[in-house]
Amino acid sequence: MFKGSLPALVTPFRNGELDLETLKKLVEWHIGEGSNGLVPVGTTGESPTLSHREHEIVVEEVVKAANGRIPVIAGAGSNNTVEAIRLARHAESVGADAILVVTPYYNKPTQRGLIAHFTAIHDACELPIVIYNIPPRSVIDMTPATMGELAKLPRIIGVKDATGDLARVSYQRMTCGKDFVQLSGEDATAHGFNAQGGVGCISVTANVAPKPLAEMQAACAAGDYAKALEIQDRLMPLHRAIFTEPGLVGVKYAMSRLDLCSDEVRLPLTGLSDETKALVDDALRHAGLLN
């Protein structure tokens, strides 16, 4: 159920407030472009600067707009276990298909603490859980051994792996089993990730290039890695340009160039520099997305 190209959905703003009309239009656009699922209120959805109620509203509106046509994996992570449980239960109550739960940032729990945190969320909610392992942001790294322990729980079904280490896919196949759903969390290595045993990508760039990335994932699933590599080559400058500054800022600017949404972000993030804008524009042209 959770495979292919799953955009890490941006949260559109207008004059500092949620732009729900644009959010709904983006859901329709992604479905029409062939995206295989949606992941709202993750890092790319600016969850750190959304209020709790805004977070809930975005999940509610995306689930409602998707209306069961493609799965919705709702962000429900926190470094506070009680808060993560509340977000998980809310996602369940409004009909999300799964939740994405990041390793707790800042307070740096041990591997034993990670097991306790994810077990508590698992036991409090009936939704499937995708672990989000992103050491550059959370400072801690869930080891393959720890993930293997958590994979024994019936509703911990996969990982969004943003370590950038392609060998992790094989290690996690060893500890978690071949049916454990491994999704890349890094656009630049998503092609190679699938070759190692991954089944898709929770993608930032798919916010602006959903159709080619869905096609790339479909080619990988069909074993046509040559076709997938052609698409990767076309999009690689865009992956790189978008992440020159924080990725969500880069992709919102790219989306604004295609009249998909405003490039507005919330502090402490700021808009792109002129130099980075030029890089993104050039990459959009190279990808065939901008004249």
Catalytic positions, please? 132, 160
Phi-psi region of 181 (alpha: psi -120 to 50; beta: other; left: phi over 0): beta
- Radius of gyration of the chain from Cα atoms? 18
Q: What span, in angstroms and rounded, lies between the C-alpha atoms of 51 and 56?
A: 9
Q: Are 88 and 124 in contact (CB under 8 A)?
A: yes
**Are 71 and 1 contacting, i.e. CB atoms less than 8 angstroms apart?**
yes
Q: In what helix (H) or strand (E) does residue 194 lie, and over which residues does it extend? A: helix 190-196
What is the length of the chain? 291
Residue pair 172/147 in contact by the 8 Å Cβ criterion: yes
Strands 156-161, 181-184: pairing is: parallel
| 201 phi/psi in degrees, rounded to 5 | -145, 130
Q: Take residue 247 and report the two structure tokens written for it.
A: 């990725």
> Known binder of ligand: residue 175?
no
Residue 44 annotated as binding? yes
Max CA distance (Å), the chain: 52
Both tokens of 144, joined, read 């393959």
DSSP 43: T
Q: Output the known binding site for pyruvate.
A: 44, 202
